Amino acid sequence: MRTALHLTTAAWALLSITTAQAQDVAAGKAAFAQCAACHSIDGTNGAGPSLQGVDGRKVGSFPGFRYSRAMKATAYNWDAAKLEAYIANPQAAIPGNVMPFSGLPDAKQRADLVAYLQSLK
């Protein structure tokens, strides 16, 4: 009886974590409206490079996009922490990059946006 109760609690905890993540992605998708004028998620470059599969790829490496020198010279790969820092303050994260976006001050919105960006495969 006791074991069954524990299992149920664990199952509930797991379920609520999964739901929370899904909510973050949905909220991030809404926040992405601020980025969509310049960034596609389908592999087409616009004013900015496509963000399809951005998580894990090297900074400034999407085929066919003309990046700034600063962006091309950045040697790391995008991950949650790097994306979060860049979205918070693009010029502080990669000085000299030319993205015309001053940064997203809301930490919750940034976290949601990163969850959404990581969901783009």
Q: Give the integer Cα–Cα distance in Å for 19 and 4.
A: 22
Q: Does 80 bind ligand HEC (CB under 6 A)?
A: no
**Window contacting ligand HEC (CB under 6 A); options: 8-16, 20-28, 67-75:** 67-75
* Adjacent-strand bridge partners of 77: 58
To the nearest 10°, report the CA torsion of 46, 102, 94, 35.
-30
**Window contacting ligand HEC (CB under 6 A); options: 2-10, 13-21, 22-30, 46-54:** 46-54
Helix (H, G, I), strand (E, B), or coil: what is residue 60? coil
Q: Would you state the structure tokens that stand for residue 112, as one six-digit string?
A: 């949601």
Q: Which of 1, 4, 5, 47 binds ligand HEC (CB under 6 A)?
A: 47
What does the binding site for ligand HEC look like in residue numbers (CB under 6 A)? 34-35, 37-39, 47-49, 51, 54, 59-60, 62, 67-68, 70-71, 83, 86-87, 97-101, 104, 113
